[in-house]
Structure 1
């Protein structure tokens, strides 16, 4: 079966970077499409985990690693972390050739830096690839560009409409942004990919990442607890207590070991708190929220499905926020986009603070239904009022409520409301 390649937003960034630096490292979770995307830009390919050539590849990596670098450039080295010595070989090759666009490396785990001699700074540029956004999977119509809003906050969005129903949105979040899920012919097959991913993580990958044997059942329990507390400020002890209700011997060091392994596999990541210097009467909470790289992992960890999510929209509201964080991160990535949150002890919070490399930022609330738009807008205006009183802090470029609804519009108070099904 010939599968059509669906372009990724990372394609343009990758092509541009290949003209500016010797090597590119693409990291991200397994199955998110790193290899397929890299192959679109490579003129030769080395797959280190190819079973037919694995032994000989490892032999050359040990004896003469530079031999594995021979081939038309750019040369793709897939899953390079299988032979960490190649990192230093690539760096040396880049130094000697003084040319750009020589190598593309892909990897699904964060490598222990003790296994490499040099950081690669200035020679190897790191790019994070996430699973597909709704625009990349063809479900968002892309009528509203997040970067257009940054560049022209007064742009008219009032005629934009999403094509997604709430059922469509729930299914997309449960299925996730895994490219293989789009190749499946049946609804069951599309949903199965995320569950299969979860099982691989629990049974194999979480132990293989650093050679430390970990109990698959405890990994499942940890992921389920994280999913129940997805996009919340639940403390580590809350998660540990939740796990100890089933396993009485989960110590803090063991817990942190499991969490670290999941981060190294790009299963979960930290969403950091934003601590602006504003005159708030309440202390600002700056701890990290743990969110999933893709909302479908949380759904699978909860052993949920679209039908159960439809019947529990409160839980799906947190899944929706995770979906928004994923897509906002993808759409702003080429501009150094980072997503954080704001929360103070009075309960005032903003779901997403989107920062760009050039210092601009936007405040965005994520509200699944229309009922939350007013509350979200008022939160945004309160924070904006505090910011305006501070001469040393730039005002946000725009305020917005990102919804699961149908229509986009600008409120009289200036807050923009738009559906995630229109965003790109």
Structure 2
């Protein structure tokens, strides 16, 4: 399979010649190995017993190889992180080490290794532009720069978006026929509990309970349901529930494995906004995983089927489309210094699906709508935010399943997901 250039490649082109070590982090299957291997002279795969033995018996092995050295699944030999840190202290020339890991760096490792030696970059599944379906005509960076020209047309419709949700953004899975792809996605979820957590030192005493919790979390996609609500949904009518401490530990480890990809709530500094909720919105790393958990196929999604947890409005397909949009935009942000959040007031009077905040505190507010048309009612929260923070809000956007990109008379940009690029 030919390599698909990713958004992170642009960032690596800019950074790696000047930085000694970069760790590419993300869930299994997002494409870290393929991206890093293309840039390496020496590849050390710690998935392989021979390489693990060599590195485990001689930590200098990774330093003595010809650079750039790519160390895949470094977390399987945790001492690798410290050895690379020391090597960077001794020689900070750019382009020496690439590390890839499907488990995040623990707080203990970060403290022990210190800051600034190994730069961490997060890689997610394929964004919509990276899937090569259509060339975008609207870029997020241009919106931050203040462009007002919004145009473009696409033939991508809601049925294509449903297909893309179900195909997934995992490069090695999405091109499989339907049945093998479903089996692979199911296996991906099973492996998390049966292998990935134990490999990272997590003893799962009740695998069935964890699977039920993960299923309930997936069914809460695109909501900010409380964790107690998710636990109740996972164990209906059961008196012997896992303790909150147990579930919190599982949740932390699933987050470290990048399986959970929650969208944090926005709490801007020096802002007139008050009484905002603190709860994250729930998302799995890929919308296809959530779709498999709930078990509604293509036709059912188009008919509006699918049971959700703690959803106050909208359909299951709407939640999955929102998750696809959020994943696609976050995969495109890269090193631009932009952070993604959601906004919801404590009394639920106002909520916005995505808040993109740049380093200079400029903001783009994004609503996601599973429809081709946009009404005044659909943009009311965006306009409310403009009245609250003024010029700090540089643009208001509604991402749709429609055909045309344009600006409404009130200045809100209407952009089909297929036409929204980096």
Q: How does 1:231-380 map to 2 (within 5 A)?
A: 231-245=222-236, 247=238, 248-276=240-268, 283-312=275-304, 314-344=315-345, 345-370=347-372, 373-380=375-382
Partner of 1:29: 27
The residue that corresponds to 1:146 in the other structure is 140
Structure 2 CA distance for aligned equivalents of residues 35 and 24 of structure 1: 13
2: CA distance, partners of 1:144 / 1:226 = 33
Name the CA shift for 1:237/1:211 in 2 (closer, same or farther; >3 Å). Answer: closer
CA positional deviation for 1:117: 7.3
The CA deviation at 1:214 is 4.2
Q: Distance in 2 between matches of 1:404 and 1:113?
A: 41
- Residue 215 of structure 1 is matched in structure 2 by 206
RMSD over equivalenced CA pairs, Å: 2.0
Deviation track 1:228-271 (CA, whole Å, cap 9, x = no partner) reads 21111211111121123165322111111221121011011231
Matched-pair contact (CA < 8 Å) for 1:220–1:301:
no
The match for 2:194 among 203, 217, 227 is 203
Q: Look up the SS of the partner of 1:401 in the other structure.
A: strand
| CA pair 216-141 structure 1, distance change in 2 beyond 3 A | farther
**Which is further off, 242-251 or 104-113?**
242-251
Mapping of residues 55-204 of structure 1, within 5 Å? 57-58=52-53, 60-114=54-108, 118-155=112-149, 157-158=150-151, 160-184=152-176, 186-204=177-195
Alpha carbons of 1:39 and 1:5: their partners in 2 closer, same or farther (altered >3 Å)? same
Unpaired segments ≥5 residues, structure 2 = 306-314
Structure 2: how far apart are the matches of 1:246 and 1:15? Answer: 54
CA distance in 2 between counterparts of 1:139 and 1:192 reads 24
User: Is contact 2:62–2:69 with CA below 8 Å preserved after alignment?
Assistant: no
The answer to whether the 8 Å contact 1:332/1:356 transfers is no
Contact 2:352 2:367 in 1 (8 A): yes
TM-score (norm 2): 0.91
1:47 matched to 2:45: yes
The CA distance in 2 between the partners of 1:173 and 1:107, in whole Å, is 25
| Cα separation, 2, equivalents of 1:101 and 1:231 | 39
Distance 1:214 1:151, change over 3 A: farther
Going from structure 1 to structure 2, the CA distance change for 1:115 and 1:127 (only over 3 Å counts) comes to closer
Consecutive unaligned residues of structure 1, counting only runs of 5 or more, are: 389-393
The Cα offsets for residues 314-342 of structure 1, whole Å up to 9 and x where unpaired, read as 11111111111111112222202221111
CA contact 2:215–2:234 (8 Å) conserved in 1 = no
**Secondary structure of the structure 1 residue equivalent to 2:119:** strand
| CA distance in structure 2 between the aligned counterparts of 1:400 and 1:79, rounded to whole angstroms | 38
